[in-house]
A and B are shown apart, each in its own frame.
Chain A
Amino acid sequence: MTGSMDLPAKGGFSFDLCRRNDMLEKKGLKLPGFRKTGTTIVGLVFQDGVVLGADTRATEGPIVADKNCEKIHFMAPNIYCCGAGTAADTEAVTDMVSSQLQLHRYATGRESRVVTALTLLKSHLFRYQGHVSAALVLGGVDCTGPHLHTVYPHGSTDTLPFATMGSGSLAAMSVFESKYKEGLTREEGIQLVAEAICAGIFNDLGSGSNVDVCVITKGKTEYLRNHQLPNPRTYVSSKGYSFTKGQTEVLSTKITQLKQTVEVAEGGDAMEE
C-alpha cells in the first residue's frame, strides 16, 4: 500500500476499493446508482451514407441531471457513435476506441473503417462480460461504403439498414418500421430520424429535450447539434428573483486578492556588465 501513491497508475481499471465497498454493502449501505442516459438513439442508411440521431436527456434515477447532453460521440472523422446505458461507460469506451483508431490511422496511413471500430468495441465489451454497460449505435462511411451497426453491452453486434437502441427504442422503431424505405434522400433521411427521436422524446420518460442529428457521407460529416428544439421552456418568469445586497446573514468574510501575473517587457535595456 505504501507504494500506491508514488506513481500515477498505468491505465485500465483498478480494483483496490472493491473489498472496502463489499464490506460497506454487507453492513447495509446501498451502493449508489450511476447516471444513465435513458435515451433514444437511432441510425439509418440512406442513399449516400448514414444518418445518426439521439435525444439529449441524461437521468439520475427519476431526476433529469442534464437537459442538453451530447450522446453522439466522435470516433473518427468519418465514423460517429451514439451511446445509451451508463453515461460514464459510453463516454469512456467511445473515447478509448477513438484514441485507438487515431493511433491505427497513424500506423497505417489510411482512413479508419467502421468494422475496425466495431471489432474494437465488441471485444472490449465482451471482455468485461456486460459489466461495462454501453449499448451503442455505430455508423460511418468508409472506402467500402456506408455501414450501420448496433453493439450490445455483452459484446454482440448486428448490422442493419436502420437501428434503434435505448429505453425509447420501441417508440423510435415503430416510426422506422412504418416509414423506412431503401434509397432515401438526405432530407428524407434527416426528417425520418428526427421524427423517430421525437417519438422517443414524447412517449418515453427516459428520453427528452432536443434532437441531435449527424449526417455522414463520403468525404463529409455534418454534426447538427440541437437540430430540433421541440421542448422550449415556457414558464420563465419575467421578473425573476432578485435579492438585495445584504439580504443574506453572513457570519464572517475573508477577501483574498489574487496575485496578478507579471508581464515581462520585451526589449528592455541590457544589463550593465
Chain B
Amino acid sequence: MSIFEYNGSAVVAMVGKNCFAIASDRRLGVQLQTIATDFQRVFKVHDKLYVGLSGLATDAQTLYQRLVFRHKLYQLREERDMKPETFASLVSALLYEKRFGPYFCQPIIAGLGDNNEPFICTMDCIGAKELAKDFVVSGTASESLYGACESMYKPNMEPEELFETVSQALMASVDRDCLSGWGGYVLIVTPTEVQERVVKGRMD
C-alpha cells in the first residue's frame, strides 16, 4: 500500500468568473478503517488564500502549521498579505527543501490575486508546481476527479453554478474511491464573501 493511501483524501479546486472553489472530502481513515468523518483538509491562510492538503494527514497538519508560521512572519515584515503566486513559490521551496525525505502531501493552492484574478495551482510532494487555468485535483480519488472535472468544467461560471459543478464532480469522484468520501466540504470565495458549505454524500 502506498503512503498516500494510508489516510485517503480528495481535494479539488476550480476557477470561475472572479471567484474560485476549493473542496475536499471529510474522511480520515487508517487504511481501511474510518476514524473521523469531519476531518479538515482545506485551511485558510488569509481571507483570499486557501490551501488544501491531501496525502498523509499528519504531514498535512504539520505542513499547514509551518506555512501559517511563515505567512505570519511575512505579514509582520511586509505589513500585507501574501499574493497567491508568492505563496505557491513558498510552498514549492519548503517541499523541495525536503527533496530526499519529503512530506507526503500534495498541496492545492487557491487564491484571489491582483484585481481579484483567481489563481490555482497544485504540486507533487517535492514541489513541482503546476499552474492551471481551469481546475486542479489531488488525492487518492485524483484519477476520477480528472475525468469528472474535465467533462463538467466550463469557463467563466458564476459562483452558484461553480458550487454545483464542483460539488457534483467531487461527489461523483469520491463515490468511485473507497478511501475518500463521507461527505464534502466546499468553499466558494468571491471578492466580497466566502461561502462554506457541507455537502451530503454517501457514508460508505
Question: In the bound complex, do residue A250 and residue B200 qualify as a contact, i.e. CB atoms below 8 Å apart?
Answer: yes
| Contact A58-B96, Cβ < 8 Å, known A244-B164, A248-B163, A255-B193 | no
A75 to B97, alpha carbons, bound, how many Å? 21
The residue from A9, A32, A89, A131 contacting B104, defined by CB atoms under 8 A apart: A32
| Contact A248-B154, Cβ < 8 Å, known A5-B69, A91-B128 | no
Q: Of the 9-residue stretches A63-71, A153-161, A172-180, A223-231, which lies at the interface with chain B?
A: A63-71
Question: In the bound complex, do residue A248 and residue B132 qualify as a contact, i.e. CB atoms below 8 Å apart?
Answer: no
- Chain A nearest CB from B28 CB (Å) reads 17
A221 to B129, alpha carbons, bound, how many Å? 25
Residues of A with C-beta under 8 A to B191: 258
Question: In the bound complex, do residue A87 and residue B128 qualify as a contact, i.e. CB atoms below 8 Å apart?
Answer: yes
A30 to B2, alpha carbons, bound, how many Å? 4
Question: In the bound complex, do residue B132 and residue A29 qualify as a contact, i.e. CB atoms below 8 Å apart?
Answer: no
Question: In the bound complex, do residue A250 and residue B197 qualify as a contact, i.e. CB atoms below 8 Å apart?
Answer: yes
Residues of A with C-beta under 8 A to B104: 32
The residue from A9, A15, A30, A241 contacting B151, defined by CB atoms under 8 A apart: A241
Residues of A with C-beta under 8 A to B165: 241, 243
Question: In the bound complex, do residue A251 and residue B70 qualify as a contact, i.e. CB atoms below 8 Å apart?
Answer: no
- Chain A nearest CB from B190 CB (Å) reads 8
A60 to B126, alpha carbons, bound, how many Å? 13
Q: How many residues of A contact B (CB 8 A)?
A: 56
Question: In the bound complex, do residue B161 and residue A248 qualify as a contact, i.e. CB atoms below 8 Å apart?
Answer: no
A92 to B98, alpha carbons, bound, how many Å? 12
The verdict on A254 contacting chain B, using a C-beta distance below 8 Å, is: yes
Question: In the bound complex, do residue B127 and residue A88 qualify as a contact, i.e. CB atoms below 8 Å apart?
Answer: yes
Question: In the bound complex, do residue A255 and residue B195 qualify as a contact, i.e. CB atoms below 8 Å apart?
Answer: yes
- Chain A nearest CB from B194 CB (Å) reads 5
Residues of B with C-beta under 8 A to A34: 124-126, 128
Report the nearest B residue to A247, measured CB to CB: B164
Residues of A with C-beta under 8 A to B43: none
Question: In the bound complex, do residue B146 and residue A8 qualify as a contact, i.e. CB atoms below 8 Å apart?
Answer: no
Q: Which of A137-190 contact B (CB under 8 A)?
A: none
Residues of B with C-beta under 8 A to A69: 130
Report the nearest A residue to B189, measured CB to CB: A258
A89 to B48, alpha carbons, bound, how many Å? 30
Question: In the bound complex, do residue B193 and residue A92 qualify as a contact, i.e. CB atoms below 8 Å apart?
Answer: no
Question: In the bound complex, do residue B154 and residue A240 qualify as a contact, i.e. CB atoms below 8 Å apart?
Answer: yes
Report the nearest B residue to A12, measured CB to CB: B97
A259 to B125, alpha carbons, bound, how many Å? 34
| Contact A18-B130, Cβ < 8 Å, known A29-B6, A32-B2, A63-B143 | no
Q: Which of B64-121 contact A (CB under 8 A)?
A: 66, 69-70, 73, 92, 95-104
Report the nearest A residue to B105, measured CB to CB: A32
Question: In the bound complex, do residue A254 and residue B3 qualify as a contact, i.e. CB atoms below 8 Å apart?
Answer: no
Question: In the bound complex, do residue B196 and residue A254 qualify as a contact, i.e. CB atoms below 8 Å apart?
Answer: yes
Question: In the bound complex, do residue A35 and residue B193 qualify as a contact, i.e. CB atoms below 8 Å apart?
Answer: no
Residues of B with C-beta under 8 A to A21: 101-102
Question: In the bound complex, do residue B70 and residue A248 qualify as a contact, i.e. CB atoms below 8 Å apart?
Answer: no
The verdict on A108 contacting chain B, using a C-beta distance below 8 Å, is: no
The residue from A29, A242, A245 contacting B1, defined by CB atoms under 8 A apart: A29
A28 to B167, alpha carbons, bound, how many Å? 35
Q: Which of B35-67 contact A (CB under 8 A)?
A: 47-48, 55, 66
Interface residues of B (CB under 8 A from A): 1-4, 6, 47-48, 55, 66, 69-70, 73, 92, 95-104, 123-130, 132, 142-143, 146, 151-152, 154, 160-161, 163-165, 167-168, 171, 183, 191-200
The 5 closest A-B pairs by CB, nearest first: A18-B101, A87-B128, A243-B164, A88-B128, A17-B101
